[in-house]
Structure 1
């Protein structure tokens, strides 16, 4: 298993874990797994006080499906953004109004206002590869919540999602090509891996979708 992300609850507003846990560790098997043919994630909620031996280097498995499943270590700078639901879930009359607004403004609801690009915790899920389908817990049948999105890229130059550290006209996207793929992770043909969890119990299995 490869370490992919480590999040401290104190750094991510709205991220909640089991009683006593203050850190979430995401690992995955770096080989394609059915039915989505993408890495198989594993979630570990832990108490940071219990972690006594910290690894200085990430162990690498002898066999991986692709090098693009091996994350390049980097530091996270979390920031909160405002998202809106995927368009298919909006009332029909609102979708018509959005279409009118897009034509008059030259902007796009999906890419500029709805779902933020890049890695994220919480928010709304996108269904641009398939039609939306229910994400329900296998144990209790509850509708699951989006926990995390593992994207093949980060900031793509869309002004709405410009990172705070890149604010200002001097920080143009073309001057920071590594902003697009700082972790060097690629899911499928440049898609994203969406991880869902059950709101009833942290012990229930998570769900995944590749979009």
Structure 2
């Protein structure tokens, strides 16, 4: 069964994109359209290429490979173009991802914001530290699993986050990341989104039960197998 293409990124378009094996500057993410095993696991493929060689290829498929009839719309991506934007991000604040004293200050600030602003008050995790949706580099969000140590199975080195794939570009806890052109300034929270679901979920994809797919690679040798985490 052919894999379905989910995304591709060129190093020339994404500042800070880690180079692949042999200096590869084009990374592509694929997913098998079917689930496997008793736990309905998904199989992913990370493919590195040399952009210059790819763009000079003599043969391209006239049409994308056909996939079987799937039960859920969210199994296939909605074609769209990525417009990268650089933002500052900060680590998830839990366990030892930050000094304990700093996490305590963050928790106290969150509590004060909630007491003053109620449901739509900003929080460190949702509104300030890590944006939702698709992103390259930065820090992983650990909303579902809690922080995890990710090490390379080949050499034991701590792995770094290459990219994150998410179903939603905005949600009730992170509407502060919403682009200004998609926001109604007279409204608050999710109600302020212009364009509805097509803006909030541009790729139409889902990962697990509304989780993020984190793709980690080895900084010592990018040729080592990547590691996948749903969180």
User: Residue 124 of structure 1 aligns with which residue?
Assistant: 139
- Unaligned runs of 5+ residues in structure 2 are 115-121
1:93-172 matches, within 5 Å, as 93-106=101-114, 107-156=122-171, 158-163=174-179, 165-166=181-182, 169=185
User: Residue 24 of structure 1 aligns with which residue?
Assistant: 27
- Unaligned runs of 5+ residues in structure 1 are none
* Residues 93-145 of structure 1 deviation map (CA, whole Å, 9 limit, x = unaligned): 11121122223334211001121101111110111111322211111011110
For the pair shown, which has the larger CA radius of gyration, 1 or 2? 2
1:61-72 matches, within 5 Å, as 61-62=67-68, 64=70, 66-72=72-78
| Shift of residue 156, structure 1, vs aligned partner | 3.0
Measured in 2, the distance between the counterparts of 1:198 and 1:25 equals: 16
Measured in 2, the distance between the counterparts of 1:187 and 1:142 equals: 27
Which of 175, 198, 201 is 1:181 aligned to? 201
Structure 2 CA distance for partners of 1:128 and 1:36, relative to 1, 3 Å: farther
Q: Confirm or deny that 1:77 pairs with 2:83.
A: yes
| Shift of residue 29, structure 1, vs aligned partner | 1.3
Measured in 1, the distance between the counterparts of 2:230 and 2:37 equals: 11
Structure 2 CA distance for partners of 1:25 and 1:148, relative to 1, 3 Å: same
TM-score (norm 1): 0.88
Give the RMSD, CA atoms, in angstroms.
2.5
Contact 1:155 1:180 in 2 (8 A): yes
Contact 1:136 1:142 in 2 (8 A): yes
Measured in 1, the distance between the counterparts of 2:39 and 2:17 equals: 26
The structure richer in strand per residue is: 1
Deviates further, 118-127 or 162-171: 162-171
TM-score (norm 2): 0.81
Q: Secondary structure at the match of 2:128?
A: helix
| Shift of residue 146, structure 1, vs aligned partner | 0.6
Measured in 1, the distance between the counterparts of 2:205 and 2:142 equals: 20
Measured in 2, the distance between the counterparts of 1:56 and 1:170 equals: 47
